[in-house]
Structure 1
Amino acid sequence: MTRVRTGVRVLGAVLAAALGVSLAGCSATGGKRAEDARKQAAAEGRAAVTTPRWTFAMVTHSGAGDTFWDIVQNGAKQAAVKDNINFLYANSDEAQQQAQLVDSYIDKKVDGLIVTLAKPEAMKAVVAKAVKAGIPVITVNSGAEQSKVYGALTHIGQDETIAGEAVGDELDERGRKKALCVVHEQGNVGHEQRCAGAKKTFGGTMENLYVDGTNMPDVQASIEAKLQTDKSIDAVVTLGAPFADAAVQAVQSAGSEAEVDTFDLNAKVATALEDGKLGFAVDQQPYLQGYQAVDLLWLYRYNADVLGGGRPVLTGPQIITGADAAKLKDFAERGTR
C-alpha cells in the first residue's frame, strides 16, 4: 500500500512539474506576444489613449483631386488613431458650401473643429457660431491673420507672405529676371499673399497668371500661351504641387528655357526635383499641419493646453532642392511629405 501511495505521489509530482513548465511556457509566449503587439501598435500609432472617444471634424477648401490635402488628412488620421478620436473630413472649394459643411458639423455637436480660411469672410460667421456653441476651433493652412480674431485657439501652417518672400530671394539667387506666378484659385487670400511676398523680395519683375485650377489642360494651355507670347519669362512659379507638372509640360511645348518652381511637395515633385525638371519647391509640411491640428485639439479637450501663445504655429517654409529631395523621396512616396 505504501509503495502504491509513494508511486502516486511521484507520478503526481512529475505531472505537476510538467504542467507547470507547460503553463510557464504558455505564459511566457503569451506575454511576449502581447508585448510585441503593444510595441507594434505603438509603432503604427495605434496605441490609443484612455480618454473619451471624442469626434473631431476637418473642413477644408480643397478642390477635387488636390493631393496636398491627402497628405494633410494622412497626418490628421494618424493623430486621430493615436488619440482615440473619431475623425471626420469634408471639403469644398466653394466658400459658401464650405461654411455650410462646418455648420452641419456644429449641428452634429462635434467635440472639435479644424477649418481653413482661404476665403475668410465667408467663414467668419460659422466659426463664431462654433465658438459660441462651445466647440473649440483650430485653423490650418490659410487664414493666419483672421484665426485669432475669429476666436480660434491657434493657427497651424506657414506664413504665406514669408513663404513668398523666400521664393523671391531664391529666384534672385538663381539669377532669374522675369517670373510668372500661377494662381490656380482666384479669391484665395493665401495665394495672393504668396505672389505678393515673392514680388516684394524679387529683384526682377513678376506677373500673376490666373488659371482654372480645376481644369489641368486649361492650366497647361494658359501657361504655354503666356510663355509663347513673352519669351523673356525665365521662371514659372506654381502655387501647388499638382500644377508643377503642367507647368513643366507647358515650358517644353512652348520651347521655353524657363525654370519651373513650385510651392508644396509630393512624390512627383520630389522625383522632378531629383531629375532636374524643377528648380526648387517650398515645403510647408502638410502632414504636420493635419497631425498637429488633431493633437492640439485633443490636448485642449484633455488638459486645456494651447500651443503658440496666440501666435501661429509655423510648419514652413522650407526651400527644397534636388539634393534635399533624395532624402525626402521615400517619405513623399508613402504620402507623408
Structure 2
Amino acid sequence: CAGAAETFDGEVVDFNADQALADLTAAEAKVRAALEADPDIDAVFSVSADVATGSALPAIAAVGRDIPVGTVDLSSDTLTAISDGDIAFAIDQQQYAQGHLAVELLYLAVHDAIELGGGLPMYTGPALVTADNVEAVQASVDAGTR
C-alpha cells in the first residue's frame, strides 16, 4: 500500500478490511461502505486476489459504479475477471521463479563457480497480468507452471 501511495499522483485512502481473507463478506461490506461514503473513490487496489474478486468486485457491483480494480497475486477467479474486463490488472509476484532461481543460482555458484548476473540483482518480477497477456498466463497456470 505504501508503494502505491508513493507512486500514485492522486489521493490514496488506505484501509484494512480486517480479517478479509477469513471473512470475504465482511470485507465486501467494508469496501461497499467506503464506496458509498465517498463518491470520489475512482479505483480500488487490493493486496489480495481473493479480496479483489470476492469482496471488491461485489461491493462495486452493489453500489452500481464503474470502478477499475487492480490486485496483487493470481487466482483462477482473478484471471477470469481480467479476461472478462472486470479487473484491470494483477501483479504476479512470480513466487515460483523466486524459489526455483534461487536454488539454481546457488547450485551453479557452488558446483561450477558460475555467478550469473555479474553479482547484480536478477529480478524475478513482479510482472503485470492484463487483458493483453492473460491468455498466455492462463495457459501457463493450466500447464502447472504457475
TM-score grouping bracket, smaller chain normalisation: 0.7 to 0.9
* Counterpart check, 1:218 vs 2:26: yes
Identity of aligned residues (%): 38
* TM-score, scaled relative to structure 1: 0.38
Amino acid at match of 1:238: S
* Counterpart check, 1:205 vs 2:11: yes
Pairs within 5 Å for 1:292-311? 292-303=101-112, 305-308=114-117, 311=120
Richer in helix (by share): 1
C-alpha displacement at 1:262, in angstroms? 1.0
- Partner of residue 265, structure 1: 74
Q: Structure 2 residue aligned with 1:231, among 18, 39, 43?
A: 39
Q: Structure 1: which 5+ residue stretches go unaligned?
A: 1-194
Distance 1:229 1:287, change over 3 A: same
Distance 1:311 1:226, change over 3 A: farther
C-alpha displacement at 1:322, in angstroms? 0.9
Q: Structure 2: which 5+ residue stretches go unaligned?
A: none
Equivalenced residue count is: 143
Which digits, 9 at most, give the CA deviation of each residue in 1:114-173, with x for residues without a partner? xxxxxxxxxxxxxxxxxxxxxxxxxxxxxxxxxxxxxxxxxxxxxxxxxxxxxxxxxxxx
C-alpha displacement at 1:278, in angstroms? 0.6
- Partner of residue 244, structure 1: 52
Pairs within 5 Å for 1:1-337? 195-211=1-17, 212-215=19-22, 216-246=24-54, 247-303=56-112, 305-308=114-117, 311-337=120-146
C-alpha displacement at 1:330, in angstroms? 1.4
What RMSD in Å do the two structures reach over aligned CA positions? 2.3
Aligned counterparts of 2:101 and 2:69: Cα–Cα separation in 1: 31
1:314 counterpart SS class: coil
The answer to whether the Cα contact below 8 Å between 1:266 and 1:332 also exists between their aligned partners in 2 is no
* TM-score, scaled relative to structure 2: 0.81
Richer in strand (by share): 1
Aligned counterparts of 1:197 and 1:275: Cα–Cα separation in 2: 27
Question: Would you identify which runs of 4 or more consecutive aligned residues in structure 1 move more than 4 Å?
Answer: 304-311
Distance 1:243 1:294, change over 3 A: farther
C-alpha displacement at 1:301, in angstroms? 4.3
Distance 1:311 1:203, change over 3 A: same
- Partner of residue 10, structure 1: none
C-alpha displacement at 1:312, in angstroms? 3.7
Distance 1:322 1:306, change over 3 A: same
The structure with more radius of gyration: 1
The answer to whether the Cα contact below 8 Å between 1:264 and 1:284 also exists between their aligned partners in 2 is yes
